[in-house]
Structure formats: structure tokens, C-alpha cells
Amino acid sequence: MSDASVTLAVLGGTGKEGKGLAFRWAKAGYKVIIGSRDIEKARSAAAELNSLLGQEIVEGLDNLTAAMQASLVVVTVPYSAHRATLETVKSAMQGKILVDVTVPLVPPKVIKVQMPPAGSAAQEAREILGEGVEVVDAFQSISYEHLMVGDEVPCDVLVTGSSKEARLQVIKLVEAAGLTGWDAGPIENSVVVEGLTSLLIYINKQYGSTHAGIKITGVHKS
């Protein structure tokens, strides 16, 4: 069940991962805005999702306008566009939560873990946006192929971030998307979470799959 007061902006929502998350949240009843550098691409992605959903509930806007109108912002851009995107929306982000889905992949060696000087993309986002923004890392271990199906996904999401309150808010979004979320601790732990993506890409290549994910065992959620 969604919180009707929460508007989500998915920056980079024209890509596969962003579009999949936007679809899940819109289906759960959230107001969702697709953000892009190219507003026509944003509108096209929103129209595609509205067609799948059977109703006009997703809007397409440029990144800055989307961030201004949202109460919580999700960034799903490739790492090469990460800094520029965040610098564009910095003024609109103050006092809000950023959910960073970005992984610091450096093509062509995407099966090799390569972290930025800040430690992780999420820690880099915190440096760019400043202390006025809570940054939470999540969804890096979920294959986009799962997201557009619409069913519950048999994978878990590790959630790290700059405060426990922000992590708990994002875990609600994880659950709204039909996934199981785990509080994985402070933002420094995002190094491990983001690094898992390269490992999962390697496993997919090694074993001929596209759906490798993770499950936490031995713990029961109350």
C-alpha cells in the first residue's frame, strides 16, 4: 500500500531499471514522475508505462522539475552521468531523501569491482549533495528483467544509508515494489552492496543467466 502523500521522481527513468521501478511503484499506487535530461524521452517512457498500467498516472518531466516536484528522488542513471545529474538537481534535493541505484561500473570491465575515490556511488552522492540530503543505497542487486513482470520477485534488497530513519522509509518502497528489504546499515556499507553488482554480472555470464540475485538466510523478519 502506498503513501498517497509521497511523490516519487525516478531520474534516469527512461532506462530499463528506472522504468521497471517506476512501473512497480505506480502499480502500487504512488504518484510517479519519470525524469530525464530529454523531456521528450521522459514523456515517451511515461506514456509507455501508462499504457501498461491502463491509466494516466505517470508523468514525464526534465530531471530538475521532476526533483522539485517530488518528495523523494530516485536516481537510476549510468555512473558516467551520475555526478552531472546530481549537480543539476542539487538545489531541489535539500531536505529530501535520495535513493541511489547507481553502480560505479566502468565499461568494458563491468565484471570487475571498481569503486570511486569516495568509496561508492552513494558516498559520492553524499559529497555532491551535502549534509542536507539523506542518501540511501538500494536495488543494485535486482535484475531489471524481474521488475516489469509484475509479480513478487524472489530476490532481496540490501538497504544502506546515511540514517536509520531514511533506510526504513526506503524499505517501505522496497516492499511496495514486491521485494524484501533488509536494513544493511550505514552508508559506508554501500561499498559492499554496489560491489555485488559486478559479481552478479559475472555469475550471469558464467552460468548463462540474466536473473542472478541474492537472498538473506538464517534471519526472520518480524
* pLDDT given for residue 170 in this prediction: 98
- pLDDT band at residue 4 using 50, 70 and 90 as cut-offs: low
- Closest C-alpha to 122, from 104, 137, 105: 137
| Residue 119 DSSP code | S
* pLDDT given for residue 149 in this prediction: 74
Per the CB < 8 A criterion, the answer to whether 146 and 153 are in contact is: yes
pLDDT at 3 over 80: no
Architecture in CATH for domain 7-207:
3-Layer(aba) Sandwich (3.40)
pLDDT over 70 for what percent of the chain?
97
Whole-prediction pTM value? Answer: 0.94
Three cell numbers, residue 53: 498500467
* pLDDT given for residue 2 in this prediction: 58
**Residue 153, Ramachandran bin (φ over 0: left; ψ between -120 and 50: alpha; else beta):** beta
As a whole number of angstroms, the distance between CA 45 and CA 63 comes to: 14
42-75 burial, b at 16+ Cβ within 10 Å, e below that, comes to bbebbebbbeeeeeeebbbbbbbbbbbbbebbbb
- pLDDT band at residue 146 using 50, 70 and 90 as cut-offs: confident
